[in-house]
Amino acid sequence: MDRRTFLGGVLGAGAASARMTGPIPMGLNTYCLRALRWNDAQHLDYCSSQRLDAIFLQDSLDTKKDDPAHWKWVKERAKELGLHLETGGSSLLPKDAGEFDAKIALLRRNIERAAGMGSPLVRSLLAADRASLPPGTIAQHVENAVKMLRMVRTQAIDSGVKVAIEVHKDLQAREHRQIVEGAGTEFVGTYLDTGNPVFVMEDPMQTVEVLGKHALTVHLRDSVVYEHPKGIAVQWVPLGEGTVDFPAIVAKVRELCSNVHIYIKPITGRPPYVHPIYDDTYWKTFAEVRAADFARFLALAKKGRPYEGHVVIEDLQNQPVPAHFLPAVQFQQREHMERSIAYARKTLGLGVRS
C-alpha cells in the first residue's frame, strides 16, 4: 500500500465516522423521467425549476452524449445553475471472454466522460439482475469484478473520478462489499440504491448498515414488500408510500455516510415481482443467502401490503410503450417524481435550497 492510498483510507474512515449535520443536498435521478425523452439541457433546467441541489445524469438520451464538447457544456451549465452533477455508465461484467476488452474500454470511456462533465464519480454495476450474471459462482463474479476495476485504477485516480458500483438486482450487500474493499476504497465505492435490495431478498436498512461507510452517492426508491401465496412480492412505488421506513433510512445515512448527495429515484409503473420462496429450485440462485438475513427480509414483508394507489403499468415486457399510452406514462413519471420530492422535503427534511 502506498502513502497516498493509506492516507486516503485513514481520512475516508475518519470522515465516515463523523455524523452529518444540517440539510443533506438533494437531487433527482434522470432515469426516472426517461419517457419524457428529454435531452441533458432539459433535465438540467427541470432540476433548477424544482429548486434541487444536484442532478444525476443516468443513461442519458441526449444525441450529443458521446461528444467531449457536450460534456464541457454540461459541466458549465450545471455550474451556472448551481447544481452538483454526477453521472455514470453501464454494466461491468462481460457475458463471456470475448466481451472482456470491450467492457474495459467502455469503463475507461465512461471515466473519461464523467471527468469531462465534472462528476466526482462514474456509476457502474455488475449485471441487470442475478439471473443475468455470467456463468460462475458469486465468488468468481466478485473476483472478476475486482480484477477489472484494478485495471482502471490509475486512470480513475488520475482523473479524480471514483467508480461507484450500484447496489443492483445482482448481489446482496455483504457480497457487494467484497468488491469495493477488494478493489480498493481509494477509487471504488458504493452507489447506494434503496430500491434494488428487495429484489435480492434483503431489507434496504440492512443494505445501508453494511455499505453506508462506502457510499459515494445515495438514491432513494421505495417499495411495497408483502406476503403472497407464492412467496414474497415486491413492487416499486413513489417515495413514502411503501413498506420501507425512510426516516430511519435517512437517519442511518446521516450516521454512516460522508458528504453524500441524496437523489430521488422513483422508478414506478412496473408490476409486482414475486420471489417464489416455496420453490426449491429458486433457492439455487440464492444459495449463499444467510438465514438471519432472509428472516429480516421476511419480517419486513409481514409488515407490508399490496400497493393501493392508482398506477399505470408501463413495463410491457420490454416492448415499446404504444403511442396512445405514452402521455399517461409521461404524466405519471413526472407526477411521481414531484410527489416523491415533496415527501423528501416535508417528511425527510432533505435539500439545501428547500
Q: Read off the CATH number of the domain in which 254 is found.
A: 3.20.20.150
267, burial (CB in 10 Å: exposed 0-12, middle 13-18, buried 19+)? buried
> Please, where are the H alpha helices in 170-234?
173-183, 204-211
The secondary structure of 79-103 as a DSSP string is HHTT-EEEEEEEE-S-SSGGGHHHH
Residue 49 lies in a domain: yes
Q: Please check whether residue 172 is in contact with residue 141, taking contact to mean a CB–CB distance below 8 angstroms.
A: no
Cα–Cα distance measured from residue 336 to residue 303, given in angstroms and rounded to the nearest whole number: 23
Tens digit of each residue's pLDDT (9 = 90 or more) over 259-311: 999 999 999 999 999 999 999 999 999 999 999 999 999 999 999 999 999 99
Q: What is the pLDDT of residue 317?
A: 65
Residue position matching grid coordinates 488520475: 158
Task: Using the Cα atoms of residue 214, residue 8, residue 258 and residue 152 in order, give the sign of their dihedral.
Answer: negative
In the chain the beta strands, taken as DSSP E runs, fall at 26-29, 54-57, 84-91, 121-125, 162-166, 188-193, 215-220, 222-228, 231-237, 262-264, 273-275
Residue 352 lies in a domain: no
Cα–Cα distance measured from residue 254 to residue 248, given in angstroms and rounded to the nearest whole number: 10
Q: What is the pLDDT of residue 19?
A: 72
3-class DSSP assignment, residue 233: strand
291, burial (CB in 10 Å: exposed 0-12, middle 13-18, buried 19+)? exposed
Number of domains in the chain: 1
Residue range(s) defining the domain that contains residue 75 = 3-346
| Average pLDDT over the chain, rounded to an integer | 93
Q: What is the pLDDT of residue 45?
A: 98
Q: What is the pLDDT of residue 18?
A: 59
Whole-structure pTM value: 0.93
Q: Supply the angle between the helices 204-211 and 173-183 in degrees, to the nearest 10.
A: 20
Residue 57 lies in a domain: yes
Angle at 17 (CA atoms; ends 12, 20), nearest 5 degrees: 100
Residue 338 lies in a domain: yes
- 328 CB contacts (<8 Å, ≥6 apart)? 312
- pLDDT beneath 70: ranges in the chain: 1-18, 316-317
179: nearest Cα among 126, 257, 129: 126
